[in-house]
Amino acid sequence: MERERPDPMRPGDVVEVRSTYRGRVRWAFPHRVVADDGERFALYLAPGAEGVWMGRDPDGGYLERWISGEPPHPHVWQRHHVLSLTRRGDEHSLWHLWDDDWAFVCWYIQLQAPLREARGGLETTDHALDVVVDPDGTWRWKDEDDFAEAQALGVFTPDEAAAVRAEGERVIAVHPWPTGWEDWRPHPAWPLAQLPPSWTREPSGQVPGTVPGTWPERT
Is 214 contained in some domain? no
The CATH number for 93's domain is 2.40.380.10
Nearest to 125 by CA among 14, 52, 26, 29: 26
Q: Is the peptide bond before 178 cis (omega within 30 degrees of 0)?
A: yes
Is 151 contained in some domain? yes
Is 71 contained in some domain? yes
Is 191 contained in some domain? no
Is 211 contained in some domain? no
Query: What does the pLDDT look like over 126-143, one tens digit per residue?
Result: 999 999 999 999 999 999
Least confident of 3-12, 110-119, 160-169, 170-179: 3-12
pTM of the model: 0.88
Name the residues annotated as catalytic: 142
Q: Is the pLDDT of residue 212 over 50?
A: no
Is 83 contained in some domain? yes
Is 88 contained in some domain? yes
pLDDT for position 193: 95
Alpha carbon dihedral 110, 116, 121, 126, in 10-degree steps, equals: -30
| Number of domains the chain contains | 1
Q: Is the pLDDT of residue 152 over 90?
A: yes
| Sequence-distant (≥ 6) Cβ neighbours of residue 98 within 8 angstroms | 80, 81, 104, 105
Is 41 contained in some domain? yes
Structural domain of 168: 16-174
